[in-house]
């Protein structure tokens, strides 16, 4: 290390369920260079200062969606957030908001996994199709309909950003709704009626109060708020018109 | 097979259709109206008429207003403005209560939307009572 090595203070929210009654903060002094991300900062802590620190990470390039954390109170991917942007002030790193903490910066994402499963995130063909019939063809317009919503990496930053999910965790939430919408508007899919049941339900889109912070924090530029609000309109139209249409999401 | 049955059972027992579209539609209609007409009404009733700018001072005199309220289109306008503004406000207050941590249950819902309903009924009654 050179003499002019910069050192930043990283305040980490620690929680070890077998030892701690409640989460508490711990401050580490971490030497860093300008190219170091917050993730590299916490990796430095784990490698050199305290091996018991737990956090999730994998790809280091905003593809895998594992390293989401609250950084100075903002839901962020720690791999694309840089220590230099906080220096010389202290940077605060905490587990994602609105989720139970499993340990330190690791959240329990079981609730989200159930939601993900419930939206049936796969193409449900309109009718059975044999191999001989060949591949599905789509026009660029048909691709445009859903493409941006398919970029979700399940990092859960939008859930940490959503005040309504924070107040009511049964709300299906931004990412799951965006992905649900992605399949509903896919020209190859025929599962819309089944999925709309969830959109229309008390766990569905009407929990949203159009805050829009979900879309702001999304690292992949998905616009979940847009998906949620499009589905409010679709759901409301179905609510009032369902008795007029021969078939639909009527229950 | 059992797992499939279990998930199907879960699906049918836990999903209840939300009645939110009713309130959301009234909220949306009220929001649209207040955005379009709110500023104009503030200008006319709060600035232009009292100060006598742009509009003559007697624009909102009793005979003028009575004639407006007795006209079918005027009646409709007054009713829509009062009722939909109320439903918009009720919905916003109800959700804001939730946002600030008052987990509004049926009581708050009844109070918020109930007031809007009462206001709607009074507006309708008064507009009909005033004659045509």
Helix B72-99 × helix B62-70 angle, to 10°: 90
The interface predicted TM-score of the complex, written ipTM, equals 0.74
Give the pLDDT score at B54: 86
Residues of A in contact with B15 (CB under 8 A): 197-198, 201-203, 251
Nearest residue to A232 (alpha-carbon basis) of A204, A193, A191? A204
Nearest residue to A68 (alpha-carbon basis) of A226, A220, A182? A220
Task: State the average pLDDT over residues B100-117.
Answer: 85
Numbered ranges of CATH 3.10.20.30 in chain A: 6-107
Which pTM does this prediction carry?
0.85
CATH class of B20-130: mainly alpha
Distance between CA atoms of residues A168 and A203, nearest Å: 9
Do A200 and A61 form a contact (C-beta atoms < 8 A)? no
Domain boundaries, chain B: 20-130
Question: What is the per-residue pLDDT across A138-175, written as a single tens digit (0 to 9) for each?
Answer: 999 999 999 999 999 999 999 999 999 999 999 999 99
Partner-chain contact A204 B24, CB within 8 Å: no
pLDDT above 50: residue A250: no
Question: Nearest Cβ partner of B15 from A198, A206, A235?
Answer: A198
Distance between CA atoms of residues A6 and A116, nearest Å: 43
Higher pLDDT, B120 or B97: B120
Determine whether domain A110-244 maps to CATH 1.10.1060.10.
Answer: yes
In terms of CA atoms, which chain A residue is nearest residue B10? A118
In chain A, the percentage of residues whose pLDDT exceeds 90 is 90
Task: State the average pLDDT over residues A174-186.
Answer: 97
In terms of CA atoms, which chain A residue is nearest residue B21? A236
Numbered ranges of CATH 1.10.1060.10 in chain A: 110-244
pLDDT band (50, 70, 90) for residue A2: low
Task: Return the ∠ at Cα A243 (arms to B32 and A189), rounded to 5°.
Answer: 85
pLDDT above 50: residue B14: yes
Do B77 and B127 form a contact (C-beta atoms < 8 A)? no
Is the previous residue joined to A88 through a cis bond, with omega within 30 degrees of 0? yes
Strand-strand pairing, A91-94 and A6-14: parallel
CATH of domain A6-107: 3.10.20.30
Question: What is the per-residue pLDDT across A184-215, written as a single tens digit (0 to 9) for each?
Answer: 999 999 999 999 999 999 999 999 999 999 99
């Amino acid at each position: 290390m050179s003499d002019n090595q910069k050192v930043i203070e990283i305040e980490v929210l620690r929680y070890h369920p077998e030892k701690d009654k409640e989460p508490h903060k711990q401050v580490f002094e971490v030497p860093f260079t300008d190219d170091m991300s917050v993730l590299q900062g916490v990796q430095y802590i784990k490698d050199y200062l305290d091996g018991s620190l737990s956090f999730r990470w994998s790809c280091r390039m905003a593809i895998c969606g594992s390293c989401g954390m609250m950084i100075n109170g903002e839901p962020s991917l720690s791999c694309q957030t840089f220590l230099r942007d906080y220096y010389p002030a202290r940077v605060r790193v905490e587990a994602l908001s609105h989720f139970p903490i499993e340990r330190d910066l690791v959240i329990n994402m079981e609730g989200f996994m159930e939601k993900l499963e419930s939206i049936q995130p796969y193409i449900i063909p309109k009718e059975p199709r044999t191999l001989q019939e060949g591949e599905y063809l789509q026009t660029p317009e048909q691709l445009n309909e859903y493409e941006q919503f398919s970029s979700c990496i399940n990092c859960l930053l939008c859930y940490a950003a959503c005040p309504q999910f924070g107040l009511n965790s049964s709300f299906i939430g931004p990412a799951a709704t965006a992905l649900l919408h992605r399949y509903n508007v896919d020209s190859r899919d025929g599962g819309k009626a089944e999925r709309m049941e969830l959109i229309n339900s008390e766990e569905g889109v009407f929990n949203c109060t159009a805050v829009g912070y979900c879309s702001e924090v999304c690292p992949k530029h998905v616009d979940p708020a847009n998906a949620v609000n499009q589905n409010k309109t679709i759901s409301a139209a179905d609510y009032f018109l369902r008795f007029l249409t021969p078939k639909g999401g009527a229950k | 097979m059992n797992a499939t049955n279990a998930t199907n059972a879960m699906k049918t027992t836990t999903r209840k259709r939300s009645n939110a579209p009713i309130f959301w539609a009234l909220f949306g209609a009220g929001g649209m109206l207040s955005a379009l007409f709110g500023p104009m009404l503030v200008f006319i009733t709060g600035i232009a008429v009292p100060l006598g700018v742009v509009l003559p001072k007697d624009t909102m005199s009793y005979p003028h207003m009575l004639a407006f309220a007795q006209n079918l289109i005027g009646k409709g306008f007054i009713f829509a403005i009062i009722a939909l503004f109320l439903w918009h406000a009720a919905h916003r207050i109800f959700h804001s209560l939730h946002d600030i941590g008052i987990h509004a249950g049926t009581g708050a819902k009844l109070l918020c939307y109930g007031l809007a309903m009462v206001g709607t009924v009074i507006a309708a009654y008064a507009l009909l009572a005033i004659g045509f």
